[in-house]
């Protein structure tokens, strides 16, 4: 499923949480974000996302191991909601993106990232912002081999 296409993504209003830590904390951050958004009666306008701020697979692995990965999760919403110390409401910028779908456990996405970064380099492109993962299904409802993650890399 690692075919790469170039797409244009529109800006999105999102509610988001960002903190340093281990990537495994995404599994706790997303439900907390959903709970807050639902408690504010905000219509959800898309799939949950993770923004990957590290610049390479190696950098991400080192940051995760050290507990200092830059973790940001967000949820597209249709209307602005009040912010808290942890949850911010902002517009996620639109961009031209290299897009691919990874099928399988989140832990096995390293190969997809390596292929995506190689494609960017081979095509004379540069990464112009954080990579996004969009989660198309819920790992509590499908088996690990059926998990679908769309990976978007903003390119310039």
Distance CA 49, CA 70 (A): 14
Phi then psi dihedrals of residue 100, to 5 deg: -145, 160
pLDDT in tens, 127-152: 999 999 999 998 889 999 999 999 99
Distances (CA, A) of 95 to 70, 123, 142: 21, 17, 30
**Is residue 2 scored above 70 in pLDDT?**
no
| CATH number where 21 lies | 3.20.80.10
Range(s) of the domain holding residue 65: 5-154
DSSP 27: H
Tens of pLDDT along 24-46? 999 999 999 999 999 999 999 99
For the segment 36-60, the average pLDDT, to the nearest whole number, is 93
Say what the pLDDT of residue 56 is. 79
Q: What is the mean pLDDT of the chain?
A: 94
Q: Inform me whether the pLDDT recorded for 82 exceeds 80.
A: yes
> Quick one: pLDDT at residue 1?
54
The pLDDT score that the predictor gives to residue 53 is 92
- Provide the Cα torsion 6, 134, 63, 108; round to 10°: -90
Q: Per-residue pLDDT averaged across 38-66, rounded?
A: 92
Using a cut of 0.85, tell me whether the model's pTM lies above it: yes
The pLDDT > 70 percentage for the chain reads 99
The domain total for the chain is: 1
The structure tokens listed for 155 are 């390119």
Under 8 Å between Cβ of 11 and 92 = yes
pLDDT band at residue 90 under the 50/70/90 scheme: very high
pLDDT at 40: 96
Predicted pLDDT of residue 64 = 94
pLDDT, average across residues 60-87: 96
């Amino acid at each position: 499923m690692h075919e790469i296409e170039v797409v244009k993504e529109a800006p999105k209003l999102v509610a988001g949480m960002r903190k340093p830590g281990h990537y495994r904390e995404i599994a706790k951050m997303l439900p907390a974000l959903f709970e807050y958004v639902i408690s504010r009666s905000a219509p959800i306008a898309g799939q949950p996302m993770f923004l990957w701020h590290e610049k390479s697979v190696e950098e991400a692995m080192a940051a995760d191991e050290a507990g200092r990965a830059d973790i940001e999760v967000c949820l597209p919403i249709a209307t602005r909601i009040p912010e808290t110390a942890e949850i911010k409401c902002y517009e996620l910028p639109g961009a031209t993106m290299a897009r691919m779908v990874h099928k399988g456990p989140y832990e096995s996405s390293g190969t997809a990232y390596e292929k995506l970064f190689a494609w960017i380099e081979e095509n004379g492109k540069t990464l112009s912002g954080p990579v996004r993962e969009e989660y198309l299904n819920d790992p509590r409802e499908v088996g690990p081999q059926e998990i679908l993650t769309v990976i978007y890399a903003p390119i310039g």
